[in-house]
Amino acid sequence: MPYRSTENTRQKKDAKRAAMMQAAVRVFAEKGYYTATVRDVVTAADVAIGTFYFYFPDKETLFVHLYEETADFLLQAIQQAVHSRATLPQQINAGIQAYVNIAIYEPAVVQLLLVGGVGAVLSLSTKHAEFRKRLTDIWQWPLDQAAARGLIARQNTRRTAEGLAGAFDEVVLNVLNQPNPEFAAAAVVQDMSQFALRAVAYSG
């Protein structure tokens, strides 16, 4: 019985923390870091303000934790999609599809990482740079494989991956600004995939 009680308590605490994190993503995406308040977060999460301070000493700490977890979520989704395919066209297409899916169904995640987090907190600059590095790593991996097989033109795959990452971000943000982004999702995935293959001069 003591173990069951302890496990129950832990699960309730985890659920409250998860609720706050999910609410905070939406609040920060909608209001921005400076306008959003702790009260906004606890109201959206339907928890007591004391619960917030049990987990986080202040808004900045919450935001940094949130940025890290959100970045991990997006990066893992894209990386798993890319690594699940065998050829460059499939890898690029799957990665973009995963990115667009998150953008369409979890838009606050993308808004937080690409807009809300940029320059919002000084202590976040290092984590933002790490996020961009890891994202570039994901796009560079299939390019290096294709280059080793002579399937793309000789190039600096790091610079190419950085360019593709930035281009994909821009297109995704533009799609999210449309009234019904889900209607454009399929065409966007196809267009970006074709753009990437042209950019690297894929010959496979």
**Structure confidence at residue 204 as a pLDDT band (50, 70, 90):** confident
Q: What is the DSSP letter of 115?
A: I
Query: Are 107 and 29 within 8 A, CB to CB?
Result: yes
pLDDT per position as a tens digit, 148-197: 999 999 999 999 999 999 999 999 999 998 889 899 999 999 999 999 99
Residues 6, 44: Cα–Cα separation, whole Å: 27
- Ranked by mean pLDDT, the top range of 15-24, 48-57, 119-128, 189-198 is 189-198
Question: What's the token pair of residue 203?
Answer: 């010959």
Q: For the chain, give me the number of helices (H) and strands (E)?
A: 9, 0
What pLDDT score was predicted for residue 124? 81
CB contact set of 113 (below 8 Å; sequence gap of 6+)? 67, 70, 71, 74, 131
Ordered by where they begin, the domains of the chain are 1-56 (1.10.10.60), 58-199 (1.10.357.10)
Query: Are 70 and 166 within 8 A, CB to CB?
Result: no
pLDDT per position as a tens digit, 65-102: 888 989 999 999 999 999 999 999 999 999 999 999 99
**Structure confidence at residue 31 as a pLDDT band (50, 70, 90):** confident
Q: Cα torsion for 150, 153, 158, 163, to the nearest 10°?
A: -140
For residue 59, the one-letter residue type is K
Residues 21, 72: Cα–Cα separation, whole Å: 14
Residues 104, 23: Cα–Cα separation, whole Å: 18
Query: Are 123 and 59 within 8 A, CB to CB?
Result: no
Q: Is the pLDDT of residue 37 over 70?
A: yes
For the beta carbon of residue 15, count every other beta carbon within 10 angstroms.
11
